[in-house]
Structure 1
Amino acid sequence: MSSGTATFWIVIAATCACFGALFGFLFKDGPTVDGMIFGTCVGVVAIAYERGILLPGYSRRLRLLPTPAYFAAAEISLLLVVLVGMAVTGSLMWTLGLTDKTPLQAVTPKLGPVIYALAVSALFVSVLRVRDLLGSGTFANILLGRYHRPVSEERIFLFLDLVGSTAYAEKHGDLAAQELLKAVFRAIAEPVRRHRGQVDDYVGDQVIISWPLMRGIEQARCVACVFAIRRTLSKDHDGWVTRFGVVPEMRAALHGGSVVTAEVGVDRHKIAYFGDVMNTTARLEGLCRETGRDVLISDVVLARLPVLPDGIEAEALGTHRLRGRSGTMVVHALDETRKLKIVAEAHSRLEAIDERKVALLGQAASAG
C-alpha cells in the first residue's frame, strides 16, 4: 500500500471517518454524520499535505530549513492546513444544507475539535513516517506478525545497480553522488508500486526489490517492472543532465526460488531473507558487467513466465558459472525490440519538446 494508490486513500478516508465518529463518542452525545464528514475531509487534506501532494513546492522548501526551524514551520503549517480544511468543510456542508449552523458558525473552527484534529493528524503522520522508514510491505508484515517465526516461501528478486556511481562520486563528491542516488530511488518508486513490487532494501547504490513468486510471474510483472524503471529514467533526459550531468542507467538481474523469511532485530526490526537465492541474484547482477548486458534473467524465472511483455525479447546466453559458486546457471539477456526502442525514443523526444513548450509559455506569461 502506498501514497499513490487508491487503496491507500480509501483506507485513510475510512480511518479518518472512524476518528470523526470517535470524537462524537468521546465529547458529544454520540457519533454524528457531521463528525464523520469533518474527520474524513480534514484528515485527507492533512495527509495529502504531509505526503507532499498538496502544496508540494512549499513542502520541498520547508525541508531545506535547519531542523529546529523545519519542525516549527511544519507544525504551524499543519495547524493552518487543519484550520483551512475545517473551514472549507464547514462551508461545503452549509452550502449543501447538511448542517443547521449559520454560515459564520459553519466556517469557524472551535478549539476542542482543532486540538483533536491536530492530535489525530500528528498520530497519522507519525505512523506513516514509520511506515516509510520500514517500507509499506515490511510495516504491514511486522504489524501482522507474519514473520515472527521464520517462514519458507518462494519469491522473485530483482537486484538493481546504478551504473557508474563510483566514478560519479570520485568526480563530483560523495554528497553529489548521494543526491543522485536519492533522485534515482525516488524515480523508480512509482514503477515498482505500479507493478506490485516491494522495495526490500537499499545497499549502497543497489536496490533490492521482490515479489511473492506467483505475483511476480503473473502478467510477467517482474520483467515489466524492470523496463518500466528504465523508461522512467530515460524519458527525463534533459532533466537529469541539467541536475546531475548524467542520465542514470541501471543494471538489473532477476532470479527467484525458495528463501527463508524472518523478522529480525531488537531495537530496529526488519524483514530479512536467507538462502542461496539472494547470493545467486547478486552474482547474476555482477555477470551483467562481464557479458555487457544490462538486464539478465535466470532460466529458473524465465521458464515460469507465461509470456514476456510486449516488445521485450529474451536472448539465450548459455550456461555460466557465477563467481563464488560451484554450480552453473542458464542465463538469458532481456532487451526491448528494436521497433519498441524507436517508438520509446520518439515518445521521449516528444515529451521533452512538450515540457520545453510549457516552460517557454510560462516564461512568456511571467514576462508579460
Structure 2
Amino acid sequence: MTRSIAWQDGVIEAVDQCALPHEFRLLRLRTVDEVIDAIQRLAIRGAPAIGVAGALAVAQSARAHTRDAVCDELAVRAEAQRIADARPTAVNLSWAVRRVLGVLGGGPDAVLAEALQILVEDEERNRSAAGHAADLVLRLCGRKPLRLLTHCNTGRLATVAWGTALGAIRVLAEAGQVDEVLFGETRPLLQGARLTAWELAEAGIPHRMLVDSAGPAALAAGMVDCVLVGADRVCANGDVANKIGTYSLALAASRARVPFVVVAPESTLDTSLASGADIVIEERAASEVTGYGGLAVAPAGTGAFNPAFDVTPAELVTAVVTESGLFHPQETLGELAS
C-alpha cells in the first residue's frame, strides 16, 4: 500500500498510526462510527488525511442510507455533521465533508466519485506544494547541505501520500541538499518520535530527535538553517494553527533570523476567519499528559491544560506555501515569489 488511505469495495483502508513504529498494520473501517473513532483517537491523523477519510465516510453514509435508489439526505447530513465535528481545529475535515455533500443530490455514486477525486487531488496537491516549498527554501538558504527542523508529522502518513512539510524535506533530500533533519518528539502523543522518525528512516534521510523544548535551543545555537512545518488551518491574515509547540519554534526562529516556512494544501486555508483568535482550539483529555501507554506519570487527580494546537501569528511566518505557490497577506512576501 503506497497510500496511507484507500477505498476498497465500500471499506476505508488506512494505516493505523497508533500502531507505528512497532507494527505496520491497516485498519479496515466499514462504518461512520468506526471512522470517527479512528480520527478521534488519532489512528488517522494529519489535516489532509482526516479530510480524505471524512469524505469517504460520507460516501459510506450515503450508501448505507440509500434504499430503492432513494437517499435519505437528512440522515446523511446528520452523520456528516458528526464526522466534521470529530476534530474541530483542522479545517480540511469540514472542507472535505462540505465538498462531498455538495453532490449528495446525485446519489451515493456521485458522493463516492467526489470523495475519490479528493483522495487523488490530495496526493497531487501535496507533491506540488512540497516542490514549491523546496524551491523556496533553496532561494532563502542557498544550495548547500541544509540543516532543517520540523515538528509533528507532516509526511505521507499525515496525507494520502508524500506529505507537506516532510514532503518538501524529501524533495530536498532527493536533490542531495539535506545534511540533517531535527524534529521534536511532539508531546504528548509523540507523533514526531513515532511517526516522523519512522518516515525519515524509511526514506534514508539523516535525522535526530529533540525533546520539544530543545527546538528553540537548537535554533539559538545556530544548528538550523530553516524550519518547515505543516498546518491545520491558515486564517485570512496568515495566522497559522498547527500542532502545539509550533508557536515556540516560530518565536525562536524569528529571534535567530531563521526562515519559518509553512507547507499546506489550499484546503487548509480558511479565509472565512479573520485571524487566529477565531480558531477553535481542540483540547484533549488530561490523561494524555498525566500518563502514557497506560502508565500514570503524575499523581492521581493532577489536572492538565492539553491543547492539541497553538496559533502562530502571521508576522512570525516567512511564507505559507501551497500547491499554487505562496499564500500570505504580507506585502513583503510578494518579493519572495519574484
Q: Which TM-score band applies after superposition, normalised by the shorter structure?
A: under 0.3
Structure index of larger Rg: 1
Query: TM-score, normalised to structure 2's length?
Result: 0.24
Greater RCO, 1 or 2 (C-alpha within 8 Å, sep 6+): 2
